[in-house]
Structure 1
Amino acid sequence: MLFKISTRLLFILSSWVCSVTAQTLVVKDVTTVTPKMNGIVTTQTRQWIKIVDGRITKISSEPIATSDDSQLINGTGKYLIPGLMDSHVHTQTMPGLNWSKPLIKLQQAFMRQQPRSYLYYGVTQILDPSLTAHAVKAFEHAPLNPDIFFCGAAPIVGGYNLLGASFKQAIARRPYFIHRPDKDGEPPEGFKPENHTPEAVVKRMKQDGARCIKVYVEDGFDLNSGWPMISLDLLKRVRHAASEHGLLVMAHANALDMQEIALEADVDVLAHGMWNWLNEHSIGGLPKPIQEIADEIVKTNTAYQPTLNVMRSLRDVNVKDHLLIGGYSKVVPQEILDWYHTEQGHWFAQEMRQGWGTDDLNLITRRQTQVLQQGERVLAYLYQKGHPMLLATDTPPAPTYASQPGISAYMELQAMHEVGITLPDLLKAATLNNALTFGIEQDYGSVEVGKVANLLLLDEDPLESVEAYDSIDTVILHGNPIARESLQANKIQH
């Protein structure tokens, strides 16, 4: 009897504690704009939204009663949308950093601001496709941060993502690398090859909490083709192991021939647009080989990340005064902006000019714009065929300071809209499409009861202009409202 009384008392006490500590937020009289699973984007005016302990519990056209300890936000004249997701980012290094010792403080300043920069531009979910569980925990240690998901990177020794790396360096830098016994040479003492087969690597990623495996189908940039590359046989073994463990396969591939190989390996996600056409050219439409690959993407329903930000940011690092665009000062700490304007801060642009063999910036930017436009043409073709799009920036794709967290997502949305993607489909690309692709649609991607309350309160309607994504009033992260202006760079309290 004593046990039963004690158990009942504990239940009552725990229920009381839960009721006292539950965090409740109500947004009143707001217009919701959200994609639905049926593909339609709906707008509902004069809605009341109740959020309890970080999840949406009620959506009503009638007023919702609030208690004294509830938070209340007046949404009159504002628009509530799902938080955005950038499904291709890299979170470990400051854009444009070269690793000289005096710059460690800049890296530290970047890491403090980075999560806030994503939130400033409404990105409440990110996916880093080349991370580890340990790095995820380090990112989540920040006081405020978007929800982060990751893929494990599975390069080969000496191949892209491990270019020039020795066997020992591969072991230290990429825990999920795939060993090729016939190509990699004599392994270091103590190396266990059985831990680096496609099957073992995929199994470990699953155990570590990865959502996908990233492979690198890359033999060289532009017309170059001399880099070691994973074989089709190994790719197919990765594909089979990933299917067994319920993981996606994402492929780095941006050239015509590389995307053809990736599709033959039955990858789930192409992590880049097809902007490298090799020797193919056409004035109007797409060259036949490009169109054939694009048609195969549609036929196989392969997820497609345009990542227009890659070529844009590689071009813009050579554009004079690019960093004077107003948005950068909102998300880049002043000490980092000051360094970018020094000669040392331009090291990557100088290196690019050496690679081009010219200091003619007009020539370089024209060529990079042409490559960017090739990617835009493929994107437009796929969209016209009804293929769903994803917001993914690959921030930063290289040591270019023109690709910064958060603002790159906004620029990507602008670029996608300029290509012809309608505003309703742009909202889907930034929210529900990403959630569906990566299997998190039960929690994210729309304003619906039961979902995580990662939401944006906008001053403007995202179905009226793409600039609405820069009119954020409040970021709601797990039910906690955050004034956008408080997320600006240089407002962190040290």
Structure 2
Amino acid sequence: MNKTLLPITLLALLCSAQAQAAEHVDLLVRDATVVDVVSGELRPHRTIVVRDGRIVTIVDARKARQYEATRTVDAKGKYAIPGLWDMHVHFGGGEALIEENRNLLPLYLAHGITAVRDAAGDLSPSVFEWRAKTASGELLGPTIFTSGPKIEGPKSIWPGDLEIGSRQELEGALDQLQGWKVDFVKITDNTLSPELFLAAVQAAGKRGLKTSAHVPYPLTLDEVSSAGLDSIEHIDYAFKAGSPQEKSLGEAIGRGEISSRDAWTQWEATFDVGRAKSAYARLAQRGTAITPTLNGSQVVAYLDQDDHRDDAYLKYIGPGLQATYTWRVERAAKDDAEAIRRRHERFEKSASLLPLLQQSGVTILAGTDAGFLNSYNYPGIGLHQELGLLVRYGLTPLQALQAATINGARFLGHDDTYGTLEAGKAADLVLLDADPLRDIAATRRIDTVVLKGQPFDRTRLDAMLADVAARVAAQQAASKQP
């Protein structure tokens, strides 16, 4: 054999052997800038290796040659973040709106939201079905974590609640919820007594169930946190903890001696930052998180400035769901100039608590309160609006991103599977055209979403949106027929 051909032959054999030895996987996302949402570090030129819906490893370009894939996505340097989580959504409005609620699932996915926490409504049987079908891949949509029906007192104004009036009925309600394998327990205070509220938090905790709640006015944040409450829904509940009159005015509201609006005026007048930070530090120490839900509150607070009736996004919201917006809109329309001013002020005061909560170590969960009843608070785009508000009112882009990724996964005890991009975790990720750590608005600039290892490029995401718009148009046409 010609000696000059020998090295070339050996090299060819070596390359062939290496090619044969390449490990086969399902998906390679090449040349991504991976965003570490824990440290805030950027890791450029990485390849994300995926098999069976999980991340096998994340490697540099040289090591990526060890893998060949059925599908490849060329990220071209785009920013890879974990799939986003909306930690407070609702499905409801009655059985007639089941299809309209199901249409919301692709809206979440098309906006990079790969998991949602359903915080109760009146469609729990359907939500349980969707939870199973999205988990198996039979239904396209985000992973669903749900409370099922929430716990309330007798004659609750909210449909679909589990109503209890005694400790025996409480235990029966918890038995039902555990039978449905709920992911957490939601408790509200419309007609539930403060005593049964605390008992519900404690009893659920003893069963190993996470709890999420509105805070009854007669109870302090310390009291509900000491009882073991895991998350407070809506930031305005945190405001009264800054006042020395938190307990006395709350109890006066409970006795019907003062309105919550008048109590708020006094809480504002006596608010002390030091007192608030001490209370929030105790929340952090006990592990009580807060879901601010700024977006829904901001929309309603400023309906006088933007009535949202011409929002382009309404083309994705069914006519029945839009009709549920009416009650909040009509209630806000009755406010006079002074009431509108106080409405604005209450929102601004509540939102201003964000830096105090973050500095005190309280876990912030990004949630929208989107769904039925909550006017113009839209599933999908609403989370990006929420992230923008979190930053506007004091969080860094990284902290806001954490609130919508790792914090939610940790809260629900699933951070071994979700929340960050690393080996062994679910292949739920979003490719962005810009760096979200520099500008949180970059989360809106979505190029590709990967859900359970399946990539959806911009064309497919746009097709999802177009399909929802077409369904809604058909529903609107049907609703106008005699």
Q: Is this contact kept in 2: 1:50–1:64, CA < 8 A?
A: no
Please name the residue that 1:211 is paired with.
183
Q: Does 1:144 find its partner at 2:140? A: yes
Q: Does 1:29 find its partner at 2:19? A: no
Shift of residue 365, structure 1, vs aligned partner: 4.2
Q: 1:284 to 1:72 in 2, by over 3 A?
A: farther
Q: Is this contact kept in 2: 1:294–1:382, CA < 8 A?
A: yes
Q: 1:45 to 1:345 in 2, by over 3 A?
A: closer
Q: Does 1:368 find its partner at 2:343? A: yes
Q: Deviations over 1:405-438 (max 9, x none)?
A: 0121111100000111111111111100111111
Q: Is this contact kept in 1: 2:316–2:469, CA < 8 A?
A: no
Please name the residue that 2:265 is paired with.
279
* Secondary structure of 2:213's aligned partner: strand
Q: 1:274 to 1:150 in 2, by over 3 A?
A: same
Q: Is this contact kept in 1: 2:44–2:77, CA < 8 A?
A: no
- Shifted more, 286-295 versus 261-270: the winner is 286-295
Please name the residue that 1:88 is paired with.
88
Q: 1:317 to 1:204 in 2, by over 3 A?
A: same
Please name the residue that 2:15 is paired with.
none
TM-score, length-scaled by structure 2: 0.76
The one-letter code matched in structure 1 to 2:108 is: Y
* Secondary structure of 1:148's aligned partner: strand
Matches within 5 A, 1:72-471: 72-93=72-93, 107=97, 110-130=100-120, 134-140=125-131, 141=133, 143-152=139-148, 153-158=150-155, 162-163=156-157, 173-174=160-161, 176-180=162-166, 196=169, 198-218=170-190, 228-232=191-195, 234-253=196-215, 257=219, 259-274=221-236, 277=240, 278-282=264-268, 286=272, 290-291=276-277, 293-320=279-306, 322-324=308-310, 328=313, 332-333=315-316, 336=319, 348-354=328-334, 356=335, 358=336, 363-396=338-371, 399-471=373-445
Q: Is this contact kept in 1: 2:280–2:362, CA < 8 A?
A: no
Please name the residue that 1:12 is paired with.
none
Q: Is this contact kept in 2: 1:54–1:452, CA < 8 A?
A: yes
The one-letter code matched in structure 1 to 2:208 is: G
Q: Is this contact kept in 1: 2:370–2:379, CA < 8 A?
A: yes
Moved runs in structure 1, 4+ residues, more than 6 A? none
- Looking at structure 2, the residues matched to 280 and 55 of structure 1 have their Cα atoms a distance apart, in angstroms, of 53
* Secondary structure of 1:393's aligned partner: coil
Q: 1:279 to 1:288 in 2, by over 3 A?
A: farther
Q: Deviations over 1:281-320 (max 9, x none)?
A: 5589746765554343234331111111232122244444
- Shifted more, 48-57 versus 132-141: the winner is 132-141
Shift of residue 137, structure 1, vs aligned partner: 3.4
- Looking at structure 2, the residues matched to 229 and 147 of structure 1 have their Cα atoms a distance apart, in angstroms, of 31
Q: 1:137 to 1:26 in 2, by over 3 A?
A: same
Q: Is this contact kept in 1: 2:189–2:197, CA < 8 A?
A: no
- Looking at structure 1, the residues matched to 58 and 40 of structure 2 have their Cα atoms a distance apart, in angstroms, of 16
* Secondary structure of 2:435's aligned partner: coil
TM-score, length-scaled by structure 1: 0.74
- Looking at structure 2, the residues matched to 285 and 84 of structure 1 have their Cα atoms a distance apart, in angstroms, of 34
- Shifted more, 25-34 versus 137-146: the winner is 137-146
Count of residue correspondences:
412
* Secondary structure of 2:58's aligned partner: strand
* Secondary structure of 2:55's aligned partner: strand
RMSD over aligned Cα atoms: 3.2
Q: Is this contact kept in 2: 1:235–1:265, CA < 8 A?
A: no
Q: Deviations over 1:104-144 (max 9, x none)?
A: 5xx46632430111112211101112267633234345731
Q: 1:200 to 1:454 in 2, by over 3 A?
A: same
Q: Is this contact kept in 2: 1:317–1:400, CA < 8 A?
A: no
Q: 1:237 to 1:293 in 2, by over 3 A?
A: same
* Secondary structure of 1:250's aligned partner: strand
Please name the residue that 1:487 is paired with.
464
Shift of residue 259, structure 1, vs aligned partner: 3.7
Please name the residue that 2:249 is paired with.
none
Q: Is this contact kept in 2: 1:251–1:270, CA < 8 A?
A: yes
Q: Is this contact kept in 1: 2:78–2:431, CA < 8 A?
A: yes
Question: Unaligned stretches of 5+ in structure 2?
Answer: 1-23, 241-263, 472-482
Q: 1:215 to 1:284 in 2, by over 3 A?
A: closer
- Looking at structure 1, the residues matched to 325 and 297 of structure 2 have their Cα atoms a distance apart, in angstroms, of 20
Q: Is this contact kept in 1: 2:111–2:446, CA < 8 A?
A: yes
Question: Unaligned stretches of 5+ in structure 1?
Answer: 1-21, 94-98, 182-193, 219-227
Please name the residue that 2:64 is paired with.
63
Q: Deviations over 1:378-425 (max 9, x none)?
A: 2221112233311012224x7243111012111110000011111111
- Looking at structure 2, the residues matched to 120 and 438 of structure 1 have their Cα atoms a distance apart, in angstroms, of 23
Higher helix fraction (1 or 2)? 2
